[in-house]
Structure 1
């Protein structure tokens, strides 16, 4: 005997399986028993390895682990219980054997299944019993309405007749049903059956989404309604759903003042069919409002509710709400997650990012931690500047003792982020920043290590290194670097450029004379090496550059940028009286490509509407803390970004790793920024300039591109940038001089991980991660396949089951699939297959136009100290303000198997233990977007 059922049950901590049943091929339903999986595995091993396998302790342990793996895979597919077809169980057994490397046993198991299938066919045994009765919510039992099921599949396949096999989809659905099945299991079965086919063709992603819509309509409306019915039903149910939300005290009562009939008539049911499965499931799980677990929003109701919330203060509310609805529901522009969560609700916290500076006393430290908790509660991402807090060993005048430094307080910050998550919808997220001259910097670099004293580790928060230009010069020139406690060098925190350099040099001279309590001198190159080593080993701290963030800041007359935010794209001033706030949203570049080029006119219209929406957030927003409200109303910063950059390159037939892509990055960002700044000055003409406009770079006629000259003058070398431009910036300067700006800052490129999932495009400015993989996020696991690649392969007659197997085998890469033409290999090269300098070059072109920064992930295959050293120096010389994650290893890999196809988990998630990816989502961080 090998692993027994009792042993397996004990191993899985006595999990209860009462909610699960097994459907036999005859249609009979029996209890789910993991022990039978163990028994089947035992027989397979004995068949290949002989009877001695039964005496092997290692084989027994392996079978127990494989059983656990199979059971967990099945449970993930149906977390709430339900019936599982015997074939699905056997598919998972087969996959588990392959993944474990037991290829001989797996092959024997496959042959065993095929032989028994042949025997059943010879005996003419039916695979599925179709005479089914269904149990409905009211307790009644009626025959399965096969006609409606077929009609649903046909409607969901609309437009995909040439690729979707409706018969296979119907057969797979029926296979998982049994007599007396609850009606909700019927709905789940058809969705899961379509979902399992996504790897066959991307069209199945949209089909799955449409099937999910059918379930959603039933839940929200309370009765069956087809997609075709919604052409009239949307207008009918919209007022009722808004009123239901108000009555449930979820929605703002002001929404009832809108002309709901007019807005309902503007809803376009056809836009429901744009969604892919990942996008709609994400909305269903985390965005749609619900009362006692029952959703009260459909997709177009959701988008209109968000639009209404943003139009509350408009004079012609209905017209503006429809304008906002149109850019959201067509996916031309998408607001950030907090705005989508909360717009139109009673707690309309719509902002994405909050930046704080922590004061150097106990009251200030714990006030900052309290503020973190309040801001996180309503879905804000946090960036904390900890540089003012005195270092380890510094003198404490009030107690005549010595300080423990920054690190113990960061442990409290870490645990607060875990305890106070974002409204129960996703994990709390915070990033701590420390300047490179702070005496605690060496210990700060080690915060994310998995070794050492765990009381001085922060495993759940992010860290970033705020690096002054002087440090980079010392690294480049082989000079020394001295660490200080801010208690003894209080002015360094607020100085930048040449002023910082002069003050820092004076403090070094004092330290050399022995006049500083806390000071440590070392070769700058040694500290730089440790920075890069920790970045490689732990993915933190991120490398961000203090001086370009400040010298190019339009608001330098009002203070200092002391840190960036959680995702390194926001660069706003902070102090003890102001918490910087930024409101985000992103333009979908894919929707603005027409006839092989950017549609500049459409882009201008989208940006103009988007900037109005973002500006409205500032006045409507619910501010959890007073400091945030004061800062946001005073300076009115917003952050318009982009997403779908990679898909835009696909449409332009341009490889990411090319000069043409760099030029497109330049052209597209110039257009976005030009129209964003134009929209802001037009808003200023209508509504007035922001109150601190006087004295800003805007006021002085210095636009973001012009500020590069300021950086060059302060840095005194080490700056290389392209100075070209295409548009009439002189006319824009004159207009700003006349009307001012409505917003102190306008543009920032955020990661967009979640909202790009909703829209169904590549996140932000990211290159393609893999052409076929499984994405894991808070809504589950989703097969992601590159639709553009599939379409190109179809056009050349290359899309078939062999190609699917090849993509799996080569981890979603096309570079080693010989029958794919070279031009397609270049266009569809993945993130780890290109020189990361192309990413930096494109980012440098964007950065010259942007008044804030960009979330720039670095992908590097075969990382080494030399490569990291060269790349991050290159990023600094190219004028980048910040960088984000260093991704040195892929976080998932396509399963190298040759299954029969169609298995949902045929592409497996295999997180490498040293993969440098955000813990919240692989491979994309979705903590704040």
Structure 2
């Protein structure tokens, strides 16, 4: 093992090493691991830096920069880039949205396109809102339509048998507008536990609908084929059905379509109707987006944010993700064309809660809340009013970073610490984790003991440890110990500065009521969250 590999190995947790071996490191023809972590980062850096030769930049210098931020776990790109950069597959994007138009030809083309994307390592989002409702006449066969849900089950079954890039199961986002005649069936879909297991579901809601909920008015259901009103429903009854099903099954979520499109810089190019599977990247049909995350836990120096280091890492991250657009091998020509026209990227963060802990700031407080030319469609963008040049139509997003945060040994996205110790299941392997910042701060501030670690391992919490200072207990409050409104407020605080969207889990206790869900959804709408 060389010096560089030893240095990287020392930064990785046991769980990070296990995950890399299980999912990311290349394997030989016999299925055995054929590269080390430093070789993975070198492979990725080399493949992405090569793009700089087209722009007259120093490839060697760029490669060194890219390698260093990954090897130091300061920045990591999304999983398909780590898996596929420098390989024959070469598909590097995580997020795609595909159109589904009201014809069998379009529906099954989207099904085929989804299969190719999943096979190459990506996840897909769809709006099924253009499909005619169940029972609507089909003139060509003199039959009747089976409705959006019936076709969604076909997409779901296909996803079951295809793994993303051969290493993980595919994932989908399914959206239906709240004014579609089949909306009640869509809302209730997950009441059947065996239905749509590979889909996250979101109801696309409008300002008009949310105002009707607030004012207790009815609203129209419109047939997308004819444009005619089929019937009217009480908005509050539909909203109650949404929050009841969300409380019981976890789905559907809400997609605030008007808010998303108000913020979309390319409204002249098209209307956004769906997102990637986790909801943090709203995209036009046939767009893709590649993501990367900065590890904020490594942006702290002497109990203060190292702003210069953060600035440099942001520049490197944007440079990296922009290069990915050119280095990518796209699964479809339509996706390559649309992606290169708009050049959307999603630079986000992970380790936010770990950073706050290192700074001694509780998650649930006000302090915690507080060069290459333009993309081709800039003239048609709202950004053209304020900027003479802009490389990427969108730049930042906040992804869940479930796997990346394990590799980086930090907290996920902008989530609070889920527990101070917990177990994960990764590809059939049970991984036990002790939060590294908690252990570090316990040793630093003199309250570390084997007995305390055993107590925390048993409960996952500090709140019943009276010998720990109150402020420390607040700093290390876990996700379920933080009031839901603080989760939403944190999401909204980030959303103000994010031009895509923010993936965020609002953790609720087992005894949470339908009213709790209603308050969360209404608060998210009032605070102008996208999702």
Tell me the TM-score normalized by structure 2.
Answer: 0.96
Could you tell me which residue of structure 2 aligns to residue 865 of structure 1? 514
What is the aligned counterpart of 1:743 among 377, 382, 392? 392
Could you tell me which residue of structure 1 aligns to residue 88 of structure 2? 346
2:299 aligned with 1:588, yes or no?
no
Could you tell me which residue of structure 2 aligns to residue 690 of structure 1? 375
2:19 aligned with 1:282, yes or no?
yes
CA distance in 2, matches of 1:270, 1:394: 63
Could you tell me which residue of structure 1 aligns to residue 332 of structure 2? 625
Runs of 5+ consecutive residues of structure 1 not aligned to the other structure: 1-226, 232-266, 490-506, 512-518, 664-681, 702-735, 883-929
CA distance in 1, matches of 2:51, 2:479: 44
Could you tell me which residue of structure 2 aligns to residue 407 of structure 1? 149
Kindly report the root-mean-square deviation, in angstroms, between the aligned alpha carbons of the 2 structures: 1.6
Flag the 1:364–1:843 CA change in 2: closer, same or farther, 3 A: same
2:469 aligned with 1:832, yes or no?
no
Q: How far off its partner does 1:399 sit?
A: 2.0
CA distance in 2, matches of 1:699, 1:460: 39
CA distance in 2, matches of 1:274, 1:850: 30
The residue matched to 2:349 in structure 1 has which SS?
A: strand
2:45 aligned with 1:356, yes or no?
no
Could you tell me which residue of structure 2 aligns to residue 819 of structure 1? 467
The residue matched to 2:173 in structure 1 has which SS?
A: strand
- Asked if the contact 1:282/1:779 (under 8 Å) is kept, the reply is no
CA distance in 2, matches of 1:646, 1:464: 27
Q: How far off its partner does 1:353 sit?
A: 0.4
What is the aligned counterpart of 1:367 among 91, 109, 115? 109
The residue matched to 2:212 in structure 1 has which SS?
A: helix
Q: How far off its partner does 1:623 sit?
A: 1.0
Could you tell me which residue of structure 2 aligns to residue 880 of structure 1? 529
2:219 aligned with 1:481, yes or no?
yes
Higher-strand-fraction structure: 2
- Asked if the contact 1:447/1:459 (under 8 Å) is kept, the reply is no
2:384 aligned with 1:699, yes or no?
yes
The residue matched to 1:817 in structure 2 has which SS?
A: coil
CA distance in 1, matches of 2:121, 2:61: 29
- Asked if the contact 2:200/2:278 (under 8 Å) is kept, the reply is no
Runs of 5+ consecutive residues of structure 2 not aligned to the other structure: none
2:31 aligned with 1:293, yes or no?
yes
CA distance in 1, matches of 2:157, 2:200: 12
Flag the 1:846–1:796 CA change in 2: closer, same or farther, 3 A: closer
- Asked if the contact 2:5/2:37 (under 8 Å) is kept, the reply is no
Q: How far off its partner does 1:449 sit?
A: 1.9
CA distance in 2, matches of 1:268, 1:374: 35
Q: How far off its partner does 1:793 sit?
A: 3.5
Matches within 5 A, 1:306-345: 306-315=44-53, 316-345=58-87
Could you tell me which residue of structure 2 aligns to residue 59 of structure 1? none
Q: State the structure with more CA Rg.
A: 1
Deviation by residue 1:777-820 (Cα, 9 ceiling, x = unmatched): 2151111112332344345554334323422443x011122222
Tell me the TM-score normalized by structure 1.
Answer: 0.55
Deviation by residue 1:685-721 (Cα, 9 ceiling, x = unmatched): xxxx1111003121111xxxxxxxxxxxxxxxxxxxx
2:274 aligned with 1:567, yes or no?
no
What is the aligned counterpart of 1:528 among 239, 258, 263? 239
- Asked if the contact 1:391/1:438 (under 8 Å) is kept, the reply is yes
- Asked if the contact 2:123/2:172 (under 8 Å) is kept, the reply is yes
Could you tell me which residue of structure 1 aligns to residue 253 of structure 2? 542
Flag the 1:691–1:793 CA change in 2: closer, same or farther, 3 A: closer
The residue matched to 1:442 in structure 2 has which SS?
A: helix
Matches within 5 A, 1:660-671: 660-663=367-370
CA distance in 1, matches of 2:8, 2:455: 34
- Asked if the contact 2:125/2:275 (under 8 Å) is kept, the reply is yes
Flag the 1:311–1:794 CA change in 2: closer, same or farther, 3 A: closer
Matches within 5 A, 1:414-425: 414-425=156-167
The residue matched to 1:799 in structure 2 has which SS?
A: coil
What is the aligned counterpart of 2:363 among 635, 649, 656? 656
CA distance in 1, matches of 2:454, 2:89: 49
Q: How far off its partner does 1:478 sit?
A: 0.7
2:481 aligned with 1:856, yes or no?
no
Could you tell me which residue of structure 2 aligns to residue 137 of structure 1? none
- Asked if the contact 2:322/2:345 (under 8 Å) is kept, the reply is yes
Could you tell me which residue of structure 2 aligns to residue 601 of structure 1? 308
Matches within 5 A, 1:772-783: 772-778=421-427, 780-783=429-432
- Asked if the contact 2:115/2:158 (under 8 Å) is kept, the reply is yes
CA distance in 1, matches of 2:465, 2:410: 25
Matches within 5 A, 1:105-504: 230-231=2-3, 267=4, 269-291=6-28, 292-315=30-53, 316-450=58-192, 457-489=195-227
CA distance in 2, matches of 1:299, 1:652: 30
- Asked if the contact 1:555/1:573 (under 8 Å) is kept, the reply is no
Flag the 1:794–1:594 CA change in 2: closer, same or farther, 3 A: closer
- Asked if the contact 2:170/2:198 (under 8 Å) is kept, the reply is no
Structure scoring higher RCO (CA < 8 A, sep ≥ 6) equals: 2
CA distance in 2, matches of 1:367, 1:468: 29
Q: How far off its partner does 1:619 sit?
A: 1.3
CA distance in 2, matches of 1:857, 1:458: 20
- Asked if the contact 2:409/2:436 (under 8 Å) is kept, the reply is no
Q: How far off its partner does 1:563 sit?
A: 0.9
